[in-house]
Amino acid sequence: MTLRKDEFARRRRQLMRMIGKGGIAILPASTEKQRNNDVHYNYRPDSDFHYLTGFDEPESVAVLVPGRAQAEYILFVRDRDPLRETWDGRRAGTDGATSDYGADDAFPIGDIDDILPGLMEQCSRVYHTMGIHPEFDQHVIGWVNTLRGQAKQGMHTPQEFVALDHLLHDMRLYKSRTELKVMRRAAQISVGAHIRAMKATRPGMHEYEVMAELLHEFHRHDADIAYHPIVGGGANACTLHYHQNNAELCDGDLLLIDAGCEYRYYASDITRTFPVNGRFSPEQQAVYEVVLEAQEAAIASIRPGNHWNDPHDAAVRAITQGLVRIGLLKGRVPALIKSEAYRKFYMHRTGHWIGMDVHDVGDYKVGEEWRVLEPGMCMTVEPGIYIPAGTRGVPKRWWNIGVRIEDDVAVTADGNEILTAGLPRTPAEIEQLMCS
Ligand code: GLY
Ligand code: MN
Ligand code: MN
């Protein structure tokens, strides 16, 4: 399941309609990142660049000039190079950029300084995302200065710089049917990985052994991690961004796994918390049920017309009520919500947009108002309760319980769809899977 060429072409057309005649959009591919001596991280193009091009080679630049007669879509790419290709693999080259990736015209990246000022000269507005690739920003400024330097020869200089991300990120926020299909697949692979991890977990194993189960399942489906997994047992479940994943798993502890794969450039993001030995203790189950109620209340509030913050408000209400019920907060629920007393146990937000980036782009507010939910928007719903050892005012039997439950949800025309459905979520479902 891969996005077809016409999906990328449709996106470029849509962006060009918004930019209009007189505008030029310039997007660089991200650079390769060195890990340590002679070793690079696996190359993963910038999501904005890939969203519009489908092209996955570094040292590339995409240019869109709506209404330009000769060519509206121009790609600058690495030249073919038999010697380099022997080491690093095939390059598309300029021929491939036009024949396989839909560019109207393509040039070697080494020629960009000669060609781009000429393209900009015909335009009054430059659409570019400043600040993400600082070195590239310097090039853009350099090209503008080249034109300014030639003003006396009658060259025009674009007068306006416009933030491209504003338009592009709004497009990326609304997932098409094809994107939703890929996101469902990413979600499904991650669901399988979590099931595998739950089934494999035993007291005495190490967190990295459980991580290996997740990674195995991702890779055997041609997926990779969307972010470094969190596999935290016991006290580690209370560290929100725990990443060491090297401790032994103890009988009687909970294990929190926050892991999701990226499939065909789309992320999934799932958290499950379950007992290492397969059976919840009464305290673990009590906390778990509060988080589950919060997640269910949050998901129930996801539908077109509601606001971005409604799921968070619903989760906060349910968590506060639940903490009062189990005795960890004392007082009246409205007052505890107002004073944010719940933040002692629930200190993060209930979710984020998800798409090509796990924390996806898109504004959460429009002006002063929370964004109104519309079909095609995808978000995570991930309430949690964390009670590290030593939490003041909390009896010891509750210590080191950290619970988060996270699923990925798409807004649909009549409500929502849980993309990560099919993964045990209730204590009974989890115990049944682990003890079967
Ligand atoms: N895994 C990152 C997050 O849950 O936001
Ligand atoms: Mn997560
Ligand atoms: Mn998340």
- Which residue ranges make up each domain of the chain? 5-172, 175-435
Residue 237 has pLDDT above 90, yes or no: yes
10 Å Cβ neighbour count for 59?
17
Hey, CA dihedral for 158, 164, 168, 170, is it positive or negative?
negative
Cβ pair 307, 294 in contact under 8 A? no
* Strand stretches in 319-394, DSSP E: 365-366, 369-370, 378-381, 384-387
Residue 1 has pLDDT above 70, yes or no: no
In this predicted structure, what is the pLDDT of residue 42?
94
Which one of the ligands is nearest to 241 CA?
1
Distance from the CA of 351 to the center of ligand 3, in angstroms? Answer: 6
Nearest of 54, 55, 53, 20 to residue 127 by alpha carbon? 20
Rg over alpha carbons for the chain, rounded to the nearest Å, is 25
194 is catalytic: no
Amino acid at 144: V
Ligand 1 interacting residues, C-beta cut-off 6 A: 227, 258, 269, 352, 358, 382, 406
245, 269, 347, best to mutate for ligand 1 pocket (most atoms within 8 Å of CB) = 269
The number of helix segments (H) and strand segments (E) in the chain equals 13, 21
Average pLDDT over residues 5-9: 94
Give the active site residue among 48, 253, 258, 262.
258
Residue 267 has pLDDT above 90, yes or no: yes
Q: Which tokens in the block code for residue 30?
A: 């991200």
Mean pLDDT across the chain: 96
Tell the CATH topology of 5-172: Creatine Amidinohydrolase; Chain A, domain 1 (3.40.350)
Q: What is the DSSP string of 284-318?
A: HHHHHHHHHHHHHHHHHT-STTSBTTHHHHHHHHH
Q: Which tokens in the block code for residue 436?
A: 């079967």
Distance CA 159, CA 124 (A): 5
Distance from the CA of 258 to the center of ligand 3, in angstroms? Answer: 8
Q: Which tokens in the block code for residue 299?
A: 């998901």
Bridge partner list, 106: 75
10 Å Cβ neighbour count for 149?
12
Nearest of 194, 412, 416 to residue 298 by alpha carbon? 416
Distance from the CA of 258 to the center of ligand 1, in angstroms? Answer: 7
Look at the chain and count its residues: 436
Residue 259 Cα: closest atom of ligand 1:
1
Largest distance between two CA atoms of the chain: 81
Residue 282 has pLDDT above 70, yes or no: yes
Give the active site residue among 359, 371, 417, 431.
359
Q: Which tokens in the block code for residue 105?
A: 């015209």
Low-confidence winner among 86-90, 220-224, 416-420 (lowest mean pLDDT):
86-90
Going from the C-alpha of 298 to that of each of 270, 363, 379, the distances in angstroms are 16, 20, 11
Q: Which of helix, strand or coil describes residue 398?
A: helix
Provide the angle, in degrees to the nearest 10, between the axes of the packed helices 207-220 and 177-200.
140
Average pLDDT over residues 271-297: 98
In this predicted structure, what is the pLDDT of residue 306?
98
Distance CA 420, CA 109 (A): 41
Would you place residue 153 in the very low, low, confident or very high pLDDT band (cuts 50, 70, 90)?
confident
Average pLDDT over residues 61-68: 97
Query: Which residues fall within 8 angstroms of residue 432, CB to CB, at 6 or more apart?
Result: 424
In this predicted structure, what is the pLDDT of residue 128?
96
Average pLDDT over residues 208-230: 98
Average pLDDT over residues 97-120: 97
Residue 2 has pLDDT above 80, yes or no: no
Give the active site residue among 352, 371, 417, 431.
352
Nearest C-alpha to atom 3 of ligand 1 is from which residue?
A: 269
Would you place residue 154 in the very low, low, confident or very high pLDDT band (cuts 50, 70, 90)?
confident
Residue 206 has pLDDT above 90, yes or no: yes
In this predicted structure, what is the pLDDT of residue 4?
86
CATH architecture under which domain 175-435 falls: Alpha-Beta Complex (3.90)
Share in percent of the chain as helix, strand, coil (round to 5): 40, 20, 40
